């Protein structure tokens, strides 16, 4: 379901960290047009949430706070029933990354990647109906 998590700096107007969970690499040429659309909104969006349909049947959810935005890219139309839970994940990512971003040391940004991956993995496990059924049986 989730293809990528992409963190943008509004101050620098660029991508500062990405993580890939599917087959679409955000740095690939085939994704360049979609990344450009996402970045344009992510940098301009002052605060809040924006959902964007992209090429390759992808959908992006962009959540912005003060200086940062995070885009979660999904490989299908965005399921509105999961909207609130993914928005919370995006906010958790942005809030967690904010500490690294405030240090102004771009080399430290990559230190957040394992935490980003953990947030995503934990959330996807929580969404898994099979895991929920297993938990209910125990």
What is the pLDDT averaged over residues 26-54?
91
Taking each helix axis from N to C terminus, what angle separates 83-102 and 113-127, rounded to the nearest 10 degrees?
170
What percent of the chain lies above the pLDDT cut of 70? 90
What is the pLDDT averaged over residues 97-107?
90
Q: What band does 83 get if pLDDT is binned at 50, 70 and 90?
A: confident
What is the pLDDT averaged over residues 34-40?
94
Domain 2-82+91-137 belongs in CATH node 1.10.1740.10: no
Provide the 3-class DSSP secondary structure of residue 52. Answer: strand
Q: Tell me, what's the pLDDT at 137?
A: 53
What CA–CA distance (Å, rounded) separates 13 from 38?
11
pLDDT surpassing 60 at residue 131:
no
| Residue reference for tokens 């990528």 | 4
CA angle 5, 36, 69 (to 5 degrees): 45
What CA–CA distance (Å, rounded) separates 62 from 32?
17
107 Cβ neighbours under 8 A, 6+ residues apart = none
Q: What band does 130 get if pLDDT is binned at 50, 70 and 90?
A: very low
96 Cβ neighbours under 8 A, 6+ residues apart = 112, 115, 116, 119
Q: DSSP character for 71?
A: E
Q: What band does 128 get if pLDDT is binned at 50, 70 and 90?
A: low
What is the reported pTM?
0.88
Domain boundaries along the sequence of the chain: 2-82+91-137
């Amino acid at each position: 379901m989730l293809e990528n998590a992409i963190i943008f700096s509004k101050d620098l107007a660029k991508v500062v960290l990405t993580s890939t969970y599917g087959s679409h690499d955000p740095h690939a040429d085939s994704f360049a047009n979609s990344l450009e659309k996402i970045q344009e909104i992510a940098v301009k969006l002052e605060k809040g949430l924006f959902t964007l349909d992209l090429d390759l049947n992808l959908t992006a959810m962009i959540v912005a706070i003060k200086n940062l935005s995070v885009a979660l890219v999904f490989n299908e139309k965005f399921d509105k029933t999961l909207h609130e839970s993914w928005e919370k994940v995006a906010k958790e990512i942005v809030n967690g990354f904010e500490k690294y971003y405030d240090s102004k040391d771009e080399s430290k940004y990559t230190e957040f990647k394992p935490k980003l991956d953990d947030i995503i993995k934990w959330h996807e496990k929580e969404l898994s109906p099979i895991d929920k059924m297993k938990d209910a049986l125990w």
